[in-house]
Structure 1
């Protein structure tokens, strides 16, 4: 049985695979249908933000299949707003407003790129369904760029040397010719994933505010503890965020369990998970669907190796043995090895940090933070004297980083990737 049939570590686009997040889905519906708002999806790494963002795109196209799966039919507007959409995943080489706009104006993706929607005689656009089983989510894609290929200079209203004005002109042309003209939609939705990795976000919020209207809406998604982490000039878009701020937190156990019932359905019950196994994986994954998916996929791999169809505690034990030995998840293991280097003391220190329990007196927003002073005595008990000399590698970008320091509180740190912290807890040392 192919593990990918039921589990994936990739972004989930198909509503049939998406589980849980009822509250966030309600917020998404409200934000998509608000005439004027900025949608901001934020949270920690591994909680499923990008998958939720793709579901926002589906709703924007008029496909509310997921809302119906979740029992939210009564909250779907009678006349939902429908958009044309563009979807762009940012990367760390983008620096500032102009760098972002230059990427958007030159993105040649035939299904998600902005450029495909800009009027030009040398290309042909057709409607298509993003999820083939669903007919409601219609959008436009390029089927033929024309004989001469694609050059942004061919497009009307391109202003040489002024990418900001070019972008404004492109939006105006798309709204006039595609949104209001060919497709008769309510607006254009520009979705920007991994927005947090843009090095210099200064001015982007102001630009979004100036361009947002009943015809143009933006959605941004990224790793952040709060909205000020995600939007540098937060004050400029504060009013736009009143109906669009969507904080994605760790799943509750019942939602994590749905990942496995959904997988069983996708496997057509040729692979079945023992309820005790599902409960244990829900506990070990800490509400992070990425880790739950990885563990589920590994369970199927081991079940295949043992020629069994029931994933029982014996199968899970073998999976956890592979995780403890560092052979199950190569990406997380590579991160683990980079963090510890050649130092046995640093390895022990990393495990002490990962195992540190949350105090009972801290708020929900502070969950997951670690305090170095709380492990100094434990470190001394095992013969580690120089904790402060071991920490810098764990904070160094060249080696991860595994941790980041919270500037507002001395001696307080957080794991950059909560899934990595959970992996360290499972790993032998």
Structure 2
């Protein structure tokens, strides 16, 4: 009997954490190349943005490793020419905004705290590696003499007694870091969307970004304006890098890499090709769903002493998604939207089946009334736009009527995937959608003479 290491099993997929190990990072070749080029561009400020659940933070962590000189991912991608030479590598700090990061001043204080918290870790060679004491993350792989870090700590301490505002203090600290260690400084600012007010940030970045000081911004948004209040002051310096939904082949790579990780750790669990394809298909381009469902599949297979995850295991994981702890927030949103109304659930699922982000209400209303017998589609749509029901839909500002969008595209994918509260609603809406789509295709063929 094979004894399975539980810690290894439950970490083959990581829905609750970013992927830091390059060997397990899948896809995103285009974005990795764009970001690695930005490290060479003087004054450029990369902005990583996109919907929830698409792996922006994992991508940012890979950029952190690349900036510190780690060549593993770039080598795997076959672009070793982009590996930073020793004299171009950065002292890199990964700063995550929280609910307490309300404005630019709060962010500046956090950046200062990270810059002040450099300390050394002794190595067997007698030299030191730097870490960020506030997060215990590595700042650089390069080895330094311990004396350098002691000198920096002493000098940065003296700055605290000088009459400097936060902006001046951060700049002086970064200059001191560069003078002490002979390396430029990079701040990766994650979850920028948590800041209630970003006023002042863009102007600051424009003023201080240089060859020796660089910033990377990461956040949930559909466009730059959603992340930066005064983005026009930095428009020419910004390098927007959109993180789109993943291709199915990229999603399949996540499963294959998780499987390889297990096998390397002595756990002979694997996914059938049909199970891998099913996971990639149902996840609608969102890697987070691959991690949530894949993790559940492994746990179930192991509990039944099976070494192969089958197609039906994926379907069972999908049916259990409403009870999955990792997806609890999405489940709560669904419950708040549907409540005690079967017609509203039909309306919600009919909107979710539309493939594009801009959803024409007229077409959905026709689907509801003609195929599903639900006549009050506009009423339920209006309710789904209200905060009382979670405000999951909204009318785009440029379109006063006729179109709606999901406020959270990841939730839209979740709606399509999970079972309905009212029995048969999910299958009825899917059948109606397919029937109407087939009818429209036939009418088009007849009209065009095909």
**Shorter-chain TM-score: which interval?**
0.7 to 0.9
CA contact (8 A) 1:354 1:421 kept: yes
Alignment partner, residue 294 of structure 1: 292
- CA offset at residue 63 of structure 1? 1.2
- CA offset at residue 192 of structure 1? 1.0
Alignment partner, residue 137 of structure 1: 141
Alignment partner, residue 91 of structure 1: 98
Alignment partner, residue 194 of structure 1: 191
* Distance change (3 Å), C-alpha of 1:81 and 1:330: same
Instruction: Say which structure is richer in helix.
Output: 2
Distance 2:217 2:316 in 1: 40
Q: Residue 85 of structure 1 aligns to a residue in which SS?
A: strand
- CA offset at residue 380 of structure 1? 2.9
Q: Computing the radius of gyration over CA atoms, which structure comes out larger, 1 or 2?
A: 2
Aligned residue among 80, 85, 88 for 1:81: 88
* Distance change (3 Å), C-alpha of 1:401 and 1:58: farther
- Structure 2, gaps ≥5 residues long: 120-126, 421-450
- CA offset at residue 196 of structure 1? 2.0
- CA offset at residue 205 of structure 1? 0.7
- CA offset at residue 136 of structure 1? 7.2
Does residue 423 of structure 1 match 2:414?
yes
TM-score (normalizing by structure 2): 0.78
- CA offset at residue 399 of structure 1? 5.2
Distance 2:143 2:190 in 1: 19
TM-score (normalizing by structure 1): 0.81
- CA offset at residue 409 of structure 1? 1.6
CA contact (8 A) 2:51 2:410 kept: no
Higher RCO structure (Cα 8 Å, ≥6 apart): 1
Does residue 52 of structure 1 match 2:27?
no
CA contact (8 A) 1:83 1:179 kept: no
Distance 2:143 2:299 in 1: 37
CA contact (8 A) 2:319 2:419 kept: no
CA deviation digits over 1:364-413, x for unaligned, max 9? xxx32222222112333445443344335533456544233311123322
Alignment partner, residue 425 of structure 2: none
Structural RMSD (CA): 3.2
- CA offset at residue 273 of structure 1? 0.8
CA contact (8 A) 1:326 1:427 kept: no
Distance 1:60 1:397 in 2: 42
Does residue 39 of structure 1 match 2:46?
yes
Does residue 405 of structure 1 match 2:403?
no
CA contact (8 A) 1:53 1:221 kept: yes
Distance 2:141 2:261 in 1: 22
- Structure 1, gaps ≥5 residues long: 108-112, 119-124, 359-366
Alignment partner, residue 261 of structure 2: 266
Aligned residue among 1, 5, 9 for 2:11: 5
Alignment partner, residue 179 of structure 1: 178
* Distance change (3 Å), C-alpha of 1:82 and 1:202: same
Name the count of aligned residue pairs. Answer: 389
CA contact (8 A) 1:208 1:218 kept: yes
Alignment partner, residue 430 of structure 2: none
